[in-house]
Every structure is written in structure tokens, then in C-alpha cells.
Amino acid sequence: MEKMKQLFKKNNKNQALSFLLVIVMYVAIEALLKTGNLKSLYTSMLVPVCCYCIVALALNLVVGVSGELSLGHAGFMSIGAFTGVIVSGYLSNFIGSQMVCFAIAVVCGAIMAAIFGFVISIPVLKLEGDYLAIVTLAFGQIIKTLVNNIYLGYDQAGFHFSFVKNTIELQSGGKMFISGPVGATGTTITSNFTAGVIMILITLIIIYNFMNSRQGRAVMAARDDKIAAQSVGLDIVKTKTMVFVLSAALAGAAGVLYGLNFSTLVPSKFDFNTSILVLVYVVLGGLGNMFGTLISTIVLVMLPQLLRALNDYRMLIYAVLLIVIMIATNNKTIRDMITGVFNRKKAEGEGE
């Protein structure tokens, strides 16, 4: 019982820290923006950082909480982003308010990604371990290839759609939403930093509520010991499907945020490398640790920008840092050495 209490305390602390971090960051950045102290380089990074935070949180739900590796989350972002572009482009003909358009686009993107997430989870969750990871990788590739071949336009006569070959001829005043490998062009930018932060907060609320719910505990039990969880009657496939769909929906919503932040968007943006990038944020932040994920995402997205002074060497240094951090945190000898140094300092400090 004591242990349970401690666990809850730890969870609550993590939760409070996450919300605090987001709000403090938001206030600080808004203050900087208002006083004009933020370089335009960083201003342009604000929405992408929010977007990556949401995807990383969503992926941590799959990797950290349910313990399954997904290598295809960029696929869900892609679905969300292009759904969002279409919905917001279409609605802007009828609805004046950009905010309302954006909100509807986010919901539609999330639903669309959730549908795909559900379809994918049917085969995916039958498999185990590395094979499951590979199927998600395959789905990511399939989604990328399919989106690369979609042509969709809209004019007075309604929607026009073609696949692989562009056969669309629009009437005057019509607009192409997606044109194959070129992607979406001329999108009206409706994302902004405030919307991004609100979305992060909603994501955090959803995820923490889920983790503390009956289903969330069931998933974590299944992650820690599958056979034990099954033997007490937990329906593992059902709960894991829930996690996967929820995560897909959140990634889709993040995709909308991303897609509506740029006037042009190519489908190849959401490739295997993007999935991997987000996975790196999750693993470095700590599996199942949402606060850690937020910190690592913010730091790692900004790091290449901060290393800009080093020019060509920045990605090289990024890579070396990644390897060194992984080895330093996971190798027992080195970790003991580091904690040893800290403990000695602490002991000396206490001695004084």
C-alpha cells in the first residue's frame, strides 16, 4: 500500500512538472515575443516544437506505456497533416473564422489518423517484439507512398480525385489541395504558437488521465508481465488497440498543427527518418516519462539550431552526442562512475 502511494506521488509530481513546464515556457516565450526579443530563427521553430512535443508524447504512450515499438508514427502525422490541409482549405470557403476552421481540421485529422491507427493495429498487435516494429515501419512506408500518389482538387463542381496520374482539370477558381509528390501548396497558415501550446496541454491531460485509468493500468500491467496480466483476465489486445488508436489520433492532430503551419508541405517530409527522430526524443526523455519527453523534445529540436554556429559540423556533433548520451546513461560502469562522482561530492558537502 505504501508503495502504491509512493507511485501515485511520483506520478503526480511528474504530472505537475509537465504542466508547469509548458505553462512557464509559454509565458516566458510570449513575453519575449511581445518585447521583440526573440530571434526570427526561433520564432519559426515554435510551432514545429509544439508539434514534435505532441507526437513524442503520443509515441511515448505506445513505446513507454504499452511497451511496443512503433517505427511508423510519421505516417499518422502525414495522414493528419494532409487531412487537415484539405479540411481547412475546404471549410475556408464557408467559415470565416480561422480558429473554427483550424479546430475542425484538428479534430478531422485526429479522427482520420485514428481510423488508420485502428486498421493498422489489427495486424500489428497480433505480432510481437521486433516483428511488430517492422510492420509499423512497413505501414509508414506504405502511407508515404500512397500519399505521394494522391491528387485532390476542389472547384465549384465539387472534389476531384485521381491516383498515381494527375488527370484533374479544375475549373477557374478551383484549387488543388494535394498534387502528388509536390504535396500541398498555397495552404493558408492557420496554426500558431498558442494553439500549439493548448494542444500540448490537452494531450497531457488525455495521456495522464489514460495512464491513471483502469485501461491504462491494464496496459502497463501487460507491458510488465504479459502472462501474469492475461492470467488475471485482462484483455491485452483490446487495451493495446486502445493505446495505439489514441496515440495515432494524437499524432494525427499534431500533423494538422504541422501541416497548417507551412504554406507548402511535401509528403516525403513524413518519412522513416521523422519516425526515428521522434523515437529518439522518446527514448532520451525516458520511457513512460512524459515530463522527460517534453524536455528532451524541446532540447533536441532546438539543438541543431543552437549548434548553428558550428555550421557543417552540427549534425555530426548531434550524432556523437546521441551516442555518448546513450552509452553514458545505459552502460553500468560509466553510470556508476558518474553517480559515484556525484555521491562523493554530496558526501563531501554533507561533511562540511
Partner 1 sequence: MSFLSYLITGLSLGSVYAIIALGYTMVYGIAKMLNFAHGDVIMVGAYVSFLAIGKYDTPALVACLLSVFACTILGVLIERLAYKPLRSAPSLAVLITAIGVSYFLQNSAQLLWGTDTKVFPAMLGTNQLVLFNGELMISYVTIATIVACIIIMTVLTLFINKTKIGKAMRACSEDKGAAQLMGINVDNTISITFAIGSGLAAIASVLLCTAYPALNPTLGSMPGIKAFTAAVFGGIGSIPGAFIGGLMLGILETFSIVYISSQLSDAIVFGVLIIVLLLRPTGLLGKKIRVKV
Per rule CB under 8 A, count of chain residues that contact partner 1 = 49
Find the part of the chain contacting partner 1 (CB under 8 A) among 78-86, 168-176, 202-210, 326-334: 326-334
Q: Name the E strands within the chain.
A: 150-155, 158-163, 175-179
| Residue 167 grid coordinates | 488527370
Q: How far is the CB of 121 from partner 1 (least distance, A)?
A: 12
Regarding 11 and contact with partner 1 (CB under 8 A), the answer is no
Q: How far is the CB of 326 from partner 1 (least distance, A)?
A: 4
CA–CA distance, 55 with 281 (Å, rounded to integer): 10
Residue whose entry in the numeric block shows the C-alpha cell 509528403:
267
Regarding 332 and contact with partner 1 (CB under 8 A), the answer is yes
Regarding 309 and contact with partner 1 (CB under 8 A), the answer is no
Site string for partner 1, 281-300 (x = CB under 8 A): --xx--x-------------
Find the part of the chain contacting partner 1 (CB under 8 A) among 77-85, 168-176, 214-222, 308-316: 308-316
Regarding 232 and contact with partner 1 (CB under 8 A), the answer is no
Interaction residues for partner 1, span 156-215 (CB under 8 A): 164
| Residue 260 grid coordinates | 497548417
Asked whether the beta carbons of 78 and 267 are under 8 A apart, the reply is yes
* Number of neighbours of residue 263 by Cβ within 10 angstroms: 11
* Number of neighbours of residue 22 by Cβ within 10 angstroms: 21
Which residues have C-beta within 8 Å of that of residue 21, sequence separation ≥ 6?
291, 294, 295
Among 62, 137, 234, 301, binds partner 1 (CB under 8 A): 137
Residue whose entry in the numeric block shows the C-alpha cell 490537452:
202
CA–CA distance, 249 with 115 (Å, rounded to integer): 8
Find the part of the chain contacting partner 1 (CB under 8 A) among 42-50, 76-84, 124-132, 170-178: 124-132
Regarding 326 and contact with partner 1 (CB under 8 A), the answer is yes
Shortest CA distance to 101 belongs to which of 115, 113, 84, 114?
A: 84
Q: How far is the CB of 203 from partner 1 (least distance, A)?
A: 22
Regarding 31 and contact with partner 1 (CB under 8 A), the answer is no
Among 7, 302, 320, 337, binds partner 1 (CB under 8 A): 320
CA distances for 84 relative to 91, 105, 225, 287, angstroms: 10, 5, 39, 29
Among 131, 159, 161, 342, binds partner 1 (CB under 8 A): 131
C-beta closer to partner 1: residue 217 or 226: 226
Among 43, 44, 212, 331, binds partner 1 (CB under 8 A): 331
Regarding 27 and contact with partner 1 (CB under 8 A), the answer is no
Contacting positions for partner 1 (CB under 8 A) = 63, 69, 123, 126-128, 130-131, 133-135, 137-139, 141-142, 144-146, 148-149, 164, 226-227, 272-273, 276, 279-280, 283-284, 287, 312-313, 315-316, 318-320, 322-323, 326-327, 329-334
